[in-house]
Amino acid sequence: MTHKIAILGASGYTGAELVRLIATHPQLEIAALTGERKAGMTMAQVFPFLRHLDLPALTRIDEVDFSGIDLAFCALPHATSQAVIGALPPSLRVVDLSADFRLRDVAAYEKWYGKPHAAPDLQAQAVYGLTEFYRDDIRAARLVAGTGCNAAAGQYALRPLIAEGVIDLDRIILDLKCGVSGAGRSLRETLLHAELSEGTNAYAVGGTHRHLGEFDQEFSALAGRPVQVQFTPHLVPMNRGILATAWVDGDGARIHAVLQARYCAESFLHLLPFGTVPSTHDVRGSNFVHIGVAGDRVPGRAMVVVALDNLCKGSSGQAVQNANLMLGIEETTGLMGAPVFP
Amino acid sequence: MTHKIAILGASGYTGAELVRLIATHPQLEIAALTGERKAGMTMAQVFPFLRHLDLPALTRIDEVDFSGIDLAFCALPHATSQAVIGALPPSLRVVDLSADFRLRDVAAYEKWYGKPHAAPDLQAQAVYGLTEFYRDDIRAARLVAGTGCNAAAGQYALRPLIAEGVIDLDRIILDLKCGVSGAGRSLRETLLHAELSEGTNAYAVGGTHRHLGEFDQEFSALAGRPVQVQFTPHLVPMNRGILATAWVDGDGARIHAVLQARYCAESFLHLLPFGTVPSTHDVRGSNFVHIGVAGDRVPGRAMVVVALDNLCKGSSGQAVQNANLMLGIEETTGLMGAPVFP
Amino acid sequence: MTHKIAILGASGYTGAELVRLIATHPQLEIAALTGERKAGMTMAQVFPFLRHLDLPALTRIDEVDFSGIDLAFCALPHATSQAVIGALPPSLRVVDLSADFRLRDVAAYEKWYGKPHAAPDLQAQAVYGLTEFYRDDIRAARLVAGTGCNAAAGQYALRPLIAEGVIDLDRIILDLKCGVSGAGRSLRETLLHAELSEGTNAYAVGGTHRHLGEFDQEFSALAGRPVQVQFTPHLVPMNRGILATAWVDGDGARIHAVLQARYCAESFLHLLPFGTVPSTHDVRGSNFVHIGVAGDRVPGRAMVVVALDNLCKGSSGQAVQNANLMLGIEETTGLMGAPVFP
Amino acid sequence: MTHKIAILGASGYTGAELVRLIATHPQLEIAALTGERKAGMTMAQVFPFLRHLDLPALTRIDEVDFSGIDLAFCALPHATSQAVIGALPPSLRVVDLSADFRLRDVAAYEKWYGKPHAAPDLQAQAVYGLTEFYRDDIRAARLVAGTGCNAAAGQYALRPLIAEGVIDLDRIILDLKCGVSGAGRSLRETLLHAELSEGTNAYAVGGTHRHLGEFDQEFSALAGRPVQVQFTPHLVPMNRGILATAWVDGDGARIHAVLQARYCAESFLHLLPFGTVPSTHDVRGSNFVHIGVAGDRVPGRAMVVVALDNLCKGSSGQAVQNANLMLGIEETTGLMGAPVFP
């Protein structure tokens, strides 16, 4: 059985990644694509790499007939989704890829995003979209809020460790190395090839990155008390990929065992042998996550390293995985494509 | 119906690309993988990006039981294939990705490869593997010789133009821009990131590149008289992709029309509107070819630009496409994955 | 003796490159830096890589006191220079890095740049800035018009060959591979790291690139009759560098000999042994030009390959070289820094 | 006054970087260059980017006449230097760029390098080459041991903080992002462009990197008690540059003040305003170090970020700086070249 879907905001990178994934998904069919500023254009004009596909042209959202559509992916800019989703038919299932519904507490939303939440009623219905940890809720949800890509990477490293109490909750450092597509198709000098290639730098220092709101929410809930991690991302000259290095206090072997127990049945989460660490090269373009654990010569210290593709598993791949659950499709459908290497 | 295949030489880039493609191919199943120097290792050890797959371990070729295998991909180094394929069961279909059987004339082989051909009898059976131009022969073949990746790119630009006589046969220049994976997993200083990134250079200048042997063979046969193109490749800091710029004498609009007529029914070959030229960014990781034509302010001159992924359409994707034909599978099966962008 | 200079338009890449070069120039001192939109900012704010230097802050041009300044470099956007230079003190020597004064024929300017020339009187005084070919004129000039970076690369390949009549004037193809800094600090999607790295494409196809105006002017003057080359640039994922592949009809050995005779006394132009071709890696960050010549298996055909750094020798380094001549400083002063490799 | 120098091991990256720097150094003259395996070749053959220089050809070390040479740079592989330097004339000043003389305790050398020290007597004379902290000793030294590039980056972040006691000595994490030239001109699959570009990974995990020997030696001496930092490097797709992110327990403002006081008089060390962090883009190709400090939302935690060029300030630039001191030349001579950006 095929389900018809719409992609709202198809002219950005996550929208294009949704099209890429759904193009070979045997049970999803793209019925509508929107792009407010590029309405009237074909996808081949906006993204020539999709030229081989027979796709509907871009329209404005208000031009879409949602009557035959089973699910909408909403890949709109932050703050736009709250308004748009509120105006969609109440029966339409929605997977939102923005930050608009990630934080259950609207006060936390206002703190991290600097403006009041525009749709608190919808927020109350939203399920947090980290699939492996909210699977049952996602199956039953009308609205799923996709996670931040950095937030996904950090949680794959840490959630089982916090839940099992095997690391010091006040000593968690997340040093992330991030590919540039996480910034979207933004025209900024720092994202130009000339200024980004061949070098690296930290950004959002001092505990200011918005994905900290997700870490606080999720880790505190798991621990049953407030947990505040330290997290700084670094911009690395690669287009896709996040490498999350989690520096923790805990026993490396025990950490490895906890992750092994929790992830061994997961299709997309692969734990490497103890002492081996992953590379973003090995997950590029895929929905897979590689996780490694190493100890340290300093007793009681360890490192968990997570590699994922921010556009796929960190965003659009996660969204398809969640849509599969919501539509009663086998969870891995359309997502088993191997990474592209080299 | 599923066909069992073997990949001989699975520890190089084209071998790994075969595994990547076949992993999601619904009618092919990997029954054996060989790697002489890495026999005994798992593919996850040799290529961690394939970790999620349940694959046979690497063995030596002489350990393979070919009795239940329907087709072998041979991704061995040049000159090795001639010996190996000669020792395979005569009933086993073979797609060879090396240069060993590309040149019908064994004297031409000796000229370009510097040694006598070791299997002239096999050569007589081999079909040249440029799918869109040898489709019927490939369907019936026991042994298909995959083309050179540069040779494929150049031929997609030029074959219909030579066949239709719309360009000057003595005025063909192929200026290619090539990604580094075309050199294979070779340990050479010029292929190190430190020496290759952030710069470009020509190589194999003076009409010395071995793929000229294929151009000579194919273009002369098409023209019915000797044709010698000028061809120089340039190494560009990208991992995948060939951009072939063909400088020709002819009328741009007529050239475009000839290519349109020839390619409009092809699933993988996409001609852009006249005056628009392709980018290797838009075919990366895929079996698609984008082709553009532009005129020039100098009357009677034109340019055909072809973009393809050397590892996929230029090598392993082409091999799977040919295997599909040989095994009676729908030609595009397993090959419709969209390019990865960005 | 030290000369005081001003850099008008110091907030772009060529302006920054001028500062980089002049910072260690023993006879030039930076007295003023301008940037209309960034007036009031320090150079360390605009370009942190210049943080170690003690530089004047950016001002508006109308705030500069030109009375003690010996020479102004004008690194303003195209079309702006014509107005700005006209308003400068008539005694002030000027090296212009824009396209505004490159074309002696104002009709040609209007054809290629799409608007009437705003300062035809100044144009009459301007000397074309390809140092090695206009050295005496440059010494005596008040206004020197820096060449286009592609135009420089192509001319180093071809001028002596046209002057000596050793190539067919109607059979000249320039296939250029260009680094992205040539596009300046422009905010365009195609210049983003995510869209430019790991791929290549042609642009300005069909004989439309503006630097053709310079080729036409210079080559026709040399030949004494109209010469129209074919020229298409390709964008390559590197920040600096132009590799110009000139495909010509002529005898390779004779071409090499002509270039050898013409360039053997030049400090910055280095001809490689016949059959050896250059790499942009080997000139990056420097004022040096490497030039190679190869024959072809097709008799009477040859290739000249030129590598230079577009920001340095193709623009700001050329400007300093010209300023040295205009100010009576030894020509190579401040420009002998070795390339940066790797 | 000009001093004659020799570079032993000129065919690697640090050797080439020495030549690059010394080529424009007004008081150093290259009298001999050695390369055992490339003896007889010119530097232009080994490194075409040095083609414009008039340099002695490569010889074997035993062919060098050291009688007129004032100082030798020894850029040989680890473990080779101990033998070679022992055989040099005792009066010859030596700057060694290898790891052979960095560890004062020969037992520590054996622990980290896996073999007994071959020249303990020479070790006793060696001065550790971190210029800004061993300036007086270096002036008087006969043998200076250049630091590890990672060791330099980490020490610039931490030494003043340890010396002043403003951070917790048992809570120091160094998460480094390293360019690939730090691995030298080594032929390894992981260093190929195809496998390194467009991705990142940790390596030498678990507290196993040899530069920990230097951290232990230096930090313990400063603190007056054993200090063991945690340190893991990450390979980033850039050719030059180290970004050291030091995660520490301490007050950000106080840390900034301590670094400001210690570094304000240093020519090459530049502290950014509090809350601003550096980029390796801004020091590439130069001897400058940019240092930034940020606090954290978690009270009492801070981050120090250091950017330097591993080949220049982390190795060959440091070596020239030390040679200047040893020869009585002004310390910054030949080293004030601005970084290359973009």
* pLDDT tens-digit map of D179-221: 999 999 999 999 999 999 999 999 999 999 999 999 999 999 9
pLDDT of res. A17: 98
Of the listed D74, D149, D178, D312, which one is catalytic? D149
A285/B338 CB distance under 8 A: no
What average pLDDT does the segment D152-176 reach?
98
From A224's Cα to the closest Cα of chain B, the distance in A is 34
- Is residue B181 less than 8 Å (CB to CB) from chain D? yes
Using the structure block, give the residue that is written with the tokens 């144009």. Answer: C123
In angstroms, the CA B247 to CA B235 distance is: 19
C contacts of B297 (beta carbons < 8 Å): 206-208, 212, 228
Nearest alpha-carbon partner for C307 in C296, C321, C297, C293: C293
Tell me which fold the domain B150-309 belongs to: Dihydrodipicolinate Reductase; domain 2 (3.30.360)
From C248's Cα to the closest Cα of chain B, the distance in A is 10
pLDDT of res. D1: 80
Domain limits, CATH 3.30.360.10, in chain B: 150-309
Out of C47, C52, C284, the one facing D288 most closely (by C-beta) is: C52
C contacts of B207 (beta carbons < 8 Å): 295-298
Out of A243, A296, A303, the one facing D200 most closely (by C-beta) is: A243
Please answer whether residues B143 and B119 qualify as being in contact, where contact means their C-beta atoms are separated by less than 8 angstroms: no
B212/C297 CB distance under 8 A: yes
From B294's Cα to the closest Cα of chain C, the distance in A is 6
* Residue D149 is a catalytic residue: yes
Among D25, D28, D52, most C C-beta atoms within 10 A, so best to mutate, is D52
Task: Output the CA torsion C247→C249→C254→C256 (10° steps).
Answer: 0
- Is residue B195 less than 8 Å (CB to CB) from chain A? no
Q: Which parts of chain A sit beneath pLDDT 70?
A: none
Map residue C246 onto helix, strand or coil: strand
What proportion of chain C, given as a percentage, has pLDDT over 90? 99
Q: Which residue of A has its CA nearest to C49?
A: A195
A51/B340 CB distance under 8 A: no
C-alpha distance from residue B245 to each of B216, B269, B297, C174 (Å): 18, 16, 17, 12
Q: Which residue of C has its CA nearest to D272?
A: C51
Domain limits, CATH 3.30.360.10, in chain D: 150-310
Q: Which residue of A has its CA nearest to C193?
A: A193
CATH of B3-147+313-327, one of 1.10.10.10, 3.40.190.10, 3.40.50.410, 3.40.50.720: 3.40.50.720
From B148's Cα to the closest Cα of chain C, the distance in A is 20
A284 strand-pairing partners:
none
Q: Which residue of D has its CA nearest to B46?
A: D189
Nearest alpha-carbon partner for A102 in A242, A201, A218: A218
C-alpha distance from residue A92 to each of A74, B110, D152 (Å): 12, 67, 58
pLDDT of res. C262: 98
- Is residue A338 less than 8 Å (CB to CB) from chain B? yes
Q: Which residue of B has its CA nearest to A340?
A: B285
- Is residue C23 less than 8 Å (CB to CB) from chain D? yes
A contacts of D281 (beta carbons < 8 Å): 195-196, 198-199, 201
Band (C1; pLDDT cuts 50, 70, 90): confident
Kindly tell me if the per-residue pLDDT of C109 is higher than 90.
Answer: yes
pLDDT of res. D147: 98
pLDDT of res. B289: 98
Running along chain B, 342 residues long, what does each successive block of 10 average in pLDDT? 96 98 98 97 98 98 97 94 95 97 97 96 97 98 98 98 98 98 94 97 97 98 98 98 98 98 98 98 98 98 98 98 98 98 98
Please answer whether residues C110 and C43 qualify as being in contact, where contact means their C-beta atoms are separated by less than 8 angstroms: no
Nearest alpha-carbon partner for B197 in A124, D229, A193: A193
Backbone dihedral region for residue B4 (phi beyond 0: left; psi -120 to 50: alpha; all else: beta): beta
What average pLDDT does the segment D148-168 reach?
98
A contacts of D342 (beta carbons < 8 Å): 192, 194-195
Q: Find chains touching chain B: ≥3 CB pairs under 8 Å.
A: A, C, D
CATH of D3-147+313-326, one of 3.40.50.720, 3.40.30.10, 3.30.470.20, 3.40.50.300: 3.40.50.720
pLDDT of res. D341: 98
D288/C23 CB distance under 8 A: no
In angstroms, the CA D52 to CA D119 distance is: 39
D contacts of A208 (beta carbons < 8 Å): 297
pLDDT of res. A1: 80
- Is residue D332 less than 8 Å (CB to CB) from chain C? no
Out of D192, D198, D237, the one facing B192 most closely (by C-beta) is: D192
Q: Which residue of C has its CA nearest to A47?
A: C195
pLDDT of res. A125: 95
Among A17, A181, A340, most B C-beta atoms within 10 A, so best to mutate, is A340
B281/C177 CB distance under 8 A: no
A239/C180 CB distance under 8 A: no
Amino acid in the structure at residue A311: L
B202/C342 CB distance under 8 A: no
- Distance linking the first and last C-alpha atoms of chain C: 35
Active-site positions of B read 149
- Is residue B212 less than 8 Å (CB to CB) from chain C? yes
Among C229, C234, C249, C311, most B C-beta atoms within 10 A, so best to mutate, is C234
Task: Output the CA torsion A231→D244→C237→B215 (10° steps).
Answer: -110
Annotate C318-329 with b (16+ C-beta within 10 A) or e (fewer): bbbbbbbbbbeb
Parallel/antiparallel/unpaired status of strands D201-202 and D167-178: unpaired
Q: Which residue of C has its CA nearest to B341?
A: C195
Q: Which residue of D has its CA nearest to A341?
A: D195
From B189's Cα to the closest Cα of chain D, the distance in A is 7
- Is residue A297 less than 8 Å (CB to CB) from chain D? yes
Kindly tell me if the per-residue pLDDT of D269 is higher than 90.
Answer: yes
Active-site positions of A read 149
Band (C317; pLDDT cuts 50, 70, 90): very high
Whether the ω angle into residue A299 lies within 30 degrees of 0, i.e. cis, is no
The mean of the pLDDT values for chain D is 97
Q: Find chains touching chain C: ≥3 CB pairs under 8 Å.
A: A, B, D
From D282's Cα to the closest Cα of chain A, the distance in A is 8
Confidence (pTM): 0.98
Q: What are phi and psi of A339, to 5 degrees?
A: -55, 160
Backbone dihedral region for residue D212 (phi beyond 0: left; psi -120 to 50: alpha; all else: beta): alpha
Please answer whether residues D158 and D140 qualify as being in contact, where contact means their C-beta atoms are separated by less than 8 angstroms: no
What average pLDDT does the segment D265-280 reach?
98
Q: For D106-129, how does the pLDDT look when each residue is reduced to its tens digit (9 = 90+)?
A: 999 999 999 999 999 999 999 999
Out of B200, B205, B282, the one facing C280 most closely (by C-beta) is: B200
- Give the CATH class of A150-310: alpha beta
Please answer whether residues D164 and A238 qualify as being in contact, where contact means their C-beta atoms are separated by less than 8 angstroms: no
- Is residue D193 less than 8 Å (CB to CB) from chain B? yes
Please answer whether residues D112 and D210 qualify as being in contact, where contact means their C-beta atoms are separated by less than 8 angstroms: yes
